[in-house]
Chain A
Amino acid sequence: MVIDTTKCVGCQDCVIACQAENNVPQGFCRDWITTEAKGKFPTIEMEIRSERCNHCTDAPCISCCPTGASHYHDVGGVVLVNHDECIGCKACIASCPYDARYVHPEGYVDKCTFCIHRVEKGQDPACVSVCPTHCMHFGDLDDPNSKVSKLLQSRRNHSLLPEAGTKPNIFYLT
């Protein structure tokens, strides 16, 4: 996923769309808006980001899971949690440097799935499809001709906490 921070206005449409699409329980969220202001007056920069699970290539939540409930989806390496295998030990929550997971009130650990049920039908994730500024782009980063790959080739970008070594797969255009 590629998100253009120069277009994101922090309207939270993505957050609401995710909650509606995935029946996220009240009081919880799978994605959220982060606003980061940095610099020194008068050269202060502000970045608004729509954040969620980074679906890391080296996901620590998967390697620490004792039951195999956390796993990579066959297609695209999306990180998912099999609710029927999750015992709710919360090791995955503690292992995630992004704090992207939470305990669902029904007892299993829950997180962003990149709306895999929509992606399998050829649709974009709900957050991407509702974004009013079209700042979010979803596609195959392994395909050099995909829109997301071309955006990353042509624009300055960064990921979150690359120093944590998890190889996150969400990139922010700046």
Chain B
Amino acid sequence: MNEITTTRHNPFIDPTLQVWNWEIPVYLFLGGMVAGMMIISGYFLFKGRHKEENCSCYYLPYISFVLLSVGMLALFLDLEHKLYVWRLYTTFQITSAMSWGSWILVLVYPILFVNILLRPPKMLTDKFPIVIEWQKVLLEKTSWIKNIGVLTMFFGAGIGLYTGVLLSSLGARPLWSSSILWMLFLISGLSGAAAFVHVIAKDAYERVLLAKADNAFLIIELFVIALFIIGLKTATEVQASAADLLLVGKFASSFWVFVIGLGIIIPLFIQLLAVNHKINHTPLAPLMVIIGGLILRFVIVSAGQYSHWFALN
């Protein structure tokens, strides 16, 4: 017998931690999507696809800009001391993943802006004609475009892995205490972004390419999830208990049904049929992948807060 009773009754701490609600999973999801879109867009720039009229590298920066801003709004809404948000930018705390993230997010905006300069909106060129000159300079130099592509991929990967590191740096929550969480969030972001771009791409080549890429990302994601679970199950007792929350515990139904089943396996099956010309491409599978990615963040954030060092004492 080992029975612990406590008189502590702090709101959102007891009986289980619930300090992060919808805002953080939404932010992590949108951050992952933006990461994936930046990597895809950067890859197309690197491969010189900007010469194609309908290349998605021309509109993905706009979408990324909007989604990143919505994500940062969600992060802002989560803050309890909102008026002090500027404090994030008066210091750089090298050991804090959140401090790294807040500075990376600030650096991403100029990168997106440079991407937007490749085909600036009329509103911008009307007001600032010099932007057209900048655009000309950029488009004339292939090596610059390649470098912009690499930089976009680099910062995209930075956001994607940061969303995982943010949680895994918090060792007090056994479920998050995994060195592979960043890879899971990065690959999930890539699969969500590939699914999204597959649906909206105007270019037929890109649509097919991204459907194939998404299938690869989904298969890799399954392997990464398996490694994540194996890593936890073979670690300490508290981490094994945390893995059980997903496998057989409180969060098992949402994990197996929505994340694994409806979020990965079924859309993978549908998309494999589509790329092999057995059925037509359908927006259903990408939609399932995107929603699955969102639910993955909700499950990981909620189950992580539920997991605890005291669970086995």
Contact = CB atoms under 8 A, between A and B. Distances in A.
Interface of A: 12, 15, 27-29, 32-41, 44, 51, 60, 63-69, 84-91, 93-97, 99, 101-103, 107-109, 161, 163-165
A94 B1 contact: no
A66 B20 contact: no
B135 interface: no
Given A64-B97, A67-B91, A94 B81 contact: no
B87 interface: yes
Contact of A15 (B7, B14, B19, B90): B7
B88 A102 contact: no
Nearest to B301: A94
A94 B9 CA distance: 16
14 contacts: A12-B7, A32-B7, A32-B8, A35-B4, A37-B3, A63-B95, A64-B98, A66-B88, A87-B79, A87-B88, A89-B79, A95-B172, A99-B8, A165-B171
Contacts of B12: 102-103
B216 interface: no
A38 to B, nearest CB: 4
B97 A69 contact: no
SS of B interface (majority): loop
Nearest to A44: B1
Given A67-B90, A95-B172, A87 B84 contact: yes
Contacts of B313: 36
Interface size classification for chain B: 35 or more
B129 interface: no
A108 B83 CA distance: 11
B244 interface: no
Given A36-B2, A39-B1, A65 B96 contact: yes
Interface centre among A15, A37, A38, A64 (most CB of B within 10 A): A64
Nearest to A48: B5
Interface in B68-93: 78-82, 84-85, 87-88, 90-91, 93
Contacts of A96: 172
B172 A34 contact: no
B10 interface: yes
A38 B2 contact: yes
Given A40-B1, A66-B98, A94 B20 contact: yes
A71 to B, nearest CB: 10
A101 to B, nearest CB: 8
